Structure 1
Amino acid sequence: MNRRNFFKKAGAAGLGAAASTALAAPAIAQENPKITWRMTSSFSKSLDILFAASEDIATSVSEATDGNFTIQTFAAGEIVPGLQALDAVAADTVEMAHTCSYYYIGKDKAFALGTAVPFGLNARMMNSWLSIGGGTDMLNAFYADHGVFALPAGNTGAQMGGWYRKEIKTIDDMKGLKMRIAGIAGDVMSKVGVTPQQIAGPDVYAALEKGTIDATEFVGPYDDMKLGFQKVAKYYYYPAWWEGGPTVHAFFNKEKFEGLPKSYQRILTDACASANANMLARYDAKNAAALRELVGQGVQLRPFSSEILDACFKANQEVMADLSAKNANFKKLYDSQTAFKKEAYLWAQVAEYGFDTYMMIQQRQGTL
């Protein structure tokens, strides 16, 4: 081969490769732009499992993009109060929020269906309805009218029925009770004689201690113990029939989410799915030990009687029917969840319930 021709061709190839690299670099930069977002949470850092979900999302996104997409997390009150998180996203004050849809039923009662309604879906069913049953798409069609887009990003599992200063044996014992409980659950409680109170989280302990309220609900053993309710109320009831599987969402400013590169949208979606699974796993891991400790401190663990549950279920049916008659958004989402729930419980009682019931008996007998 002619030596001069060889180096001429090699030089041309090198220039071509360099040109190719030069052309590719801007394209890569454009596909993976440097972006910094802010996410406000509705939760304080002291509620570490709830707040951790927002941190999980931020960490996952940063690692998956080699630090090109950064999300700064802020606890409730650091940018806006916890119950204004969705408004901050809609107004583009922040790009995203980690919050509960049912905090915003003042805008439209249908927001409740994004988190939980009384006697609704449990955690597994809620996750299934959202991802497989079309729930996320239905919710986002509704959320779009408010300028936001949402993805599931946490679930606490079935919550506890709350703390009571006196024992509640019958439905009559609930009449006249002043209880910190809000939203649709408060509407149902009103029908059975309870006087619902809306009190901000930081003020609940003092209200219960002073007797301003007779009862309060929050989440479950791990979080409730942190808040110290066991020091001012002796009776701890279960289950929270109003929150069988409440979902926490990551809400995004719709325009900002849609303006992201498709790869970043996918990364955010996967990060939220991971946070969604992690929250439930953490509560499953932490609640048992916390419950044992609470009982060790003298807390009286009590189930709601069948009489109380039946009365509340009947009252809830009336509330749901009334809301469905008045609110088309609510009816559409509620009907979907109800149809899904009927099928889901058909299966759950066949295998899951039988297996879990047997294993729970073994646990009580100490044979595990």
Structure 2
Amino acid sequence: MKPHKIKRIALSAAAICLAAATAVSAETKLILGEAGPNRGARAAALQHFVDEVTARTDGEVVIDVQWGGALFKANAAVGSIADGVADLGTIISVYFPQEMVGYGIADLPVVNADAWVGMRATDDLMRSSDTIQANLANQNLVYLGTFTTSAVNIGCKDVAIRTVDDINGLKIRGVGAYGDTFRDFGANMVPMSIYDAYQGLDTGLLDCSQGYSYAVGALKQEEVMTSYTLLNWGQVGALGVFMNKDVYDGLDPAIQAAMADAGVAMADKLGELITADNAAAVEKMLMAGVEVIELSTAERDKLVVQGAQYVDAWVERASGVGIDGSALLAEYETLLAKYAEERDTQGYPWTR
């Protein structure tokens, strides 16, 4: 081979290597820790967030999701993200009642049964509250987007809850302020995970289990239930994606904005998926012969009134970390009304 051809080939190879190095350096790869498995509506919504970030940054940001607690378990998420074990990840507020007290507002037993309305109100609050953002910043965290488990309901075997008086004496699996309210109405609370509730109902260890429609369907609990009461009460919505603030602050503002937009889109996607899954699960229950009961507004309001003490307790807890809980609660209720009106006048985003 002639010397000038060898030189030209060498220069071309160098140019290719330089171009590749430039492309690699332009790409930002982030690691996301998720304690749950890569299946179900929430996982699909999280993947939607990941894909949206890449699309909205024209491929500049790529997120590698480590599923199933590969990097950290759910009860270690706050410290792991803040310390940089992952660049970002999912935090479930109930594991961190003090650190995530502001976010915990989405778990309160207020009238808030619509998954999309609840998520968008929570998302709006988390982005607009300077106090919450400052509290998170002190923990080296930044909020990016929210999920929900959707409306809290209750399924039973060989009994039915048609009024709050029917709760008295029942063996119930319940969690959070919702479970505490069931206890106030005379329930005998049984500590058990939702994943063990099938066996609990089947063997008689439980009369009823607090849960969510799509979870009943996913866990096939309709096979051991005879009744399912739609409470039209509230939901557990304080779980979402947060980012290490040091890493976030190092990103270009345009990328930060793209991640925020992807976070809003994530709530819309989960709203679409979980609304469909809940409807399908209720239909599955009906086909299995389960009696589906809708609690009356008057009976539901008794739950709300009784649960108000747990809302008050949250306000006091928030005040303990410098957050005006009363003001935040009023803002949250205003946002719930705002997005409920948007739903009623414009429909859900995926139906427009």
Shorter-chain TM-score bucket reads: 0.7 to 0.9
Q: Measure how far apart 1:128 and its partner are.
A: 4.2
Worse overlay, 123-132 or 147-156: 123-132
Q: Give the number of aligned pairs.
A: 326
In structure 1, what is the Cα distance between the partners aligned to 2:309 and 2:125? 29
* Structure 1 residues 259 and 218: CA distance shift in structure 2, 3 A: farther
Q: Which amino acid aligns with 1:289?
A: A
Aligned match for 1:55, one of 40, 47, 50: 47
Q: Deviations over 1:34-73 (max 9, x none)?
A: 3322212243333x21111221122222334454422111
Q: Deviations over 1:106-157 (max 9, x none)?
A: 65644411x331114454265246437964544322322333111224345x
Residue aligned with 1:146, SS: coil
Q: Measure how far apart 1:291 and its partner are.
A: 2.0
* Residue number in structure 2 paired with 1:16: none
* Residue number in structure 2 paired with 1:36: 29
Worse overlay, 229-238 or 202-211: 202-211
Q: Which amino acid aligns with 1:275?
A: M
Identity of aligned residues (%): 18
* Residue number in structure 2 paired with 1:17: none
* Residue number in structure 2 paired with 1:260: 251
* Residue number in structure 2 paired with 1:225: 217
Residue aligned with 1:287, SS: helix
Residue 306 (structure 2) pairs with residue 315 (structure 1): yes
User: Where in structure 2 are the equivalents of 1:261-340 lying within 5 Å?
Assistant: 261-306=252-297, 308-328=299-319, 329=321, 332-340=324-332
User: Where in structure 2 are the equivalents of 1:129-144 lying within 5 Å?
Assistant: 130-131=123-124, 135-144=128-137
Residue aligned with 2:63, SS: strand
The TM-score with structure 2 as length reference comes to: 0.77
Q: Measure how far apart 1:202 and its partner are.
A: 3.4
The TM-score with structure 1 as length reference comes to: 0.74
Unmatched segments (≥5 aa) in structure 2: 1-17, 348-352
Unmatched segments (≥5 aa) in structure 1: 1-24, 357-368
Aligned match for 1:154, one of 147, 153, 171: 147
Q: Deviations over 1:169-222 (max 9, x none)?
A: 3333212333332223233333222344453443333333333333223322x3
* Residue number in structure 1 paired with 2:5: none
* Structure 1 residues 272 and 189: CA distance shift in structure 2, 3 A: same
* Structure 1 residues 186 and 76: CA distance shift in structure 2, 3 A: farther
In structure 2, what is the Cα distance between the partners aligned to 1:201 and 1:236? 15
Aligned match for 2:240, one of 249, 257, 263: 249
* Residue number in structure 1 paired with 2:70: 78
Residue aligned with 2:324, SS: helix
- In terms of Rg, which structure is larger? 1
In structure 1, what is the Cα distance between the partners aligned to 2:69 and 2:339? 43
Q: Deviations over 1:238-260 (max 9, x none)?
A: 135231x8364211112221122
Q: Which amino acid aligns with 2:162?
A: K
In structure 1, what is the Cα distance between the partners aligned to 2:248 and 2:111? 30
Q: Measure how far apart 1:311 and its partner are.
A: 2.7
* Residue number in structure 1 paired with 2:200: 207
In structure 1, what is the Cα distance between the partners aligned to 2:130 and 2:323? 16
Q: Which amino acid aligns with 1:171?
A: V
